[in-house]
A and B are shown apart, each in its own frame.
Chain A
């Protein structure tokens, strides 16, 4: 399989009064065409910023982005507008990502209008087609977002992202705001669309069960850095990084007979403002020693399984 996206040493720092905030700090990964890379982490780990920077909705501080074989790191604003045909995004909160003063049809039609390829009639046909694809009945075309429920709103968000026939979509927590039964409907839709339209996803979420379900490969982020990367099955079967282990053991399992040998992380997430070199989990990690104060580099512990923890091998034993 060919690569659709390669990100190398991507950095995004925000200036704050206390110093630079390392929202995304030296992140590298690749996504194979037609597959899904899940990005999982807790609030403040930089996963949302990562999605925005990959699409250049926010400027990056440093690093390389290669999309479909083309280095797009130094492409200007105009060039990026052309790239938006192929790279799209689905947002977390379908209420705030849809303009409250636009009807369903206007929202889905907007990208087509801006693309200026289709005439009015063709656009209307395409909007109907898209509404059909994502499963919104035609009678809703003149409804406004606040008149619809969460699931339908998110379907509109998906239709808008699909309008330009993209190859790659960043899904930023697309089901977090939805109820379980609706969440399942939307997840199934996203997977069907992937098969049908050969889409690649960067799927950002805090929900481990969702990320396991939808991803081929997963990266775990903590305070702006990737701490572990592996295929979905591998990661859940043998998590190596102490953070991943804690994260996995913290998920409440809907099974009354499940064993509960939980690893509780001490304390709370620290701030990524002016971080010291070295492992960022060290302060909360029960395995932390002096060596953890050195910068961590990803190490391949199994084929395709990378861990940024210098004590990963010792912990395993």
Chain B
């Protein structure tokens, strides 16, 4: 009770709690490293990711090419570094897109209820009956290839989970007395949604988003693996994995290295998301 006279923002409290959780800090550190790699990909790449050295096909790790070369003699390290940018960009933006569309839908459905809710939810039911991966696959064949198209495909296919989640938390919050209190002091729907409902519903969304990034990266990889998604020669991790698959017997590192990259990234986001969930609970004591 003594510290109350000091001004403190909620963000600062959340950060303080987050830093107390060791696994979350590890996750966060890995994410920051990955982000730095993605941002400075050009500077970090020892070679051009598309440069084909025909004199050095299937070079094992070590030597001139630190992580070896693939079947076209392209430097694996450079491809991995540049691929990091592709995967992160797709992962982050597709999740943000899902959360925005899904969140808005869930928000409207949950707040207004009744017929509106029914319409939106039945639409999402139909939508969800198609497996997300198949949906993303169909979408990317409709929208075409390339990074923006893949983001669009993944973003739209992933929205129903967020919509359900948002709807659920909004329905709980809507019944809370402080919403009634806000209405009693002249709050209109927009004010109540923006000032009370969303701030209180957002933390499970953020947690889910941070975990969703890992999932989206896996999805991109899967799309890449079946030859959809980002076209060659852009080095996307899933596509690298797929390409390496044919040479797995003799050059296992072509599969193992991108595989490890995917695992580490997905895990980092999950650890971070877990920690965030605990840190965002306003009622936990600090």
Direct A–B contact in complex, judged by CB atoms less than 8 Å apart: yes
Residues of chain A at the chain B interface (Cβ within 8 Å): 52, 55, 57, 81, 84, 88-89, 91-93, 96-101, 110-111, 114-115, 139-140, 142-144, 146-147, 157, 160-161, 163-164
Taking chain B's interface residues, is the majority helix, strand, or loop, or is none over half, making it mixed?
A: helix
Flag if A142 contacts B7 (CB, 8 Å): yes
A176 to B181, CA, bound (A): 18
Across the A-B interface, give the 10 residue pairs with the lowest CB-CB distance, nearest first.
A111-B185, A97-B177, A139-B5, A143-B4, A114-B186, A96-B177, A99-B178, A84-B186, A81-B186, A97-B181
- State how many angstroms separate the Cβ of A80 from the closest Cβ of chain B: 9
Q: Which residue of A lies closest to B183 (CB)?
A: A57
Decide: A98 near B181, CB < 8 A? Known: A111-B186, A114-B191: yes
Decide: A100 near B200, CB < 8 A? Known: A91-B177, A142-B7, A144-B282: yes
Residues of B within 8 A of A146 (CB): 282-283
A118 to B4, CA, bound (A): 27
Q: A99-B178, A99-B182, A140-B4 are in contact. List 12 more A-B contacts (CB 8 A).
A: A52-B180, A84-B184, A89-B181, A91-B181, A96-B176, A96-B178, A97-B180, A97-B181, A98-B181, A100-B282, A110-B187, A146-B282
Flag if B4 contacts A147 (CB, 8 Å): yes
Flag if B196 contacts A57 (CB, 8 Å): no
Flag if B200 contacts A99 (CB, 8 Å): yes
Residues of B within 8 A of A84 (CB): 184-186
Q: Which residue of A lies closest to B281 (CB)?
A: A100
Q: Which residue of B lies closest to A111 (CB)?
A: B185
- State how many angstroms separate the Cβ of B243 from the closest Cβ of chain A: 48
Q: Which residue of B lies closest to A172 (CB)?
A: B177
Q: Which residue of A lies closest to B284 (CB)?
A: A146
Q: Which residue of B lies closest to A93 (CB)?
A: B177
- State how many angstroms separate the Cβ of B284 from the closest Cβ of chain A: 9
Which residues of B from 143 to 182 have beta carbons under 8 Å from A? Answer: 176-178, 180-182
Residues of B within 8 A of A114 (CB): 185-187, 191
21 contacts between A and B (CB under 8 A): A57-B183, A84-B184, A91-B180, A93-B177, A96-B176, A97-B181, A98-B178, A101-B199, A101-B282, A111-B185, A114-B186, A114-B187, A114-B191, A139-B5, A142-B6, A143-B4, A144-B282, A146-B282, A147-B1, A147-B4, A161-B184
Q: How many residues of B contact A (CB 8 A)?
A: 26
Residues of A within 8 A of B4 (CB): 139-140, 142-143, 147
- Max chain B C-beta neighbours (<10 A), residue from A92, A96, A164: A96
Flag if B177 contacts A81 (CB, 8 Å): no
A305 to B5, CA, bound (A): 52
Q: Which residue of A lies closest to B196 (CB)?
A: A99
Decide: A115 near B183, CB < 8 A? Known: A101-B282, A139-B4, A140-B4: no
Residues of A within 8 A of B7 (CB): 142
Q: Which residue of A lies closest to B6 (CB)?
A: A142
Which residues of B from 3 to 26 have beta carbons under 8 Å from A? Answer: 4-8, 10
Q: Which residue of A lies closest to B175 (CB)?
A: A96
Flag if A55 contacts B184 (CB, 8 Å): yes
* B188 at the binding interface (Cβ < 8 Å): yes
Flag if A142 contacts B8 (CB, 8 Å): yes
Contact with B185, one of A101, A140, A164 (Cβ below 8 angstroms): A164
Contact with A115, one of B6, B181, B186 (Cβ below 8 angstroms): B186
A92 to B181, CA, bound (A): 11
Residues of B within 8 A of A52 (CB): 180
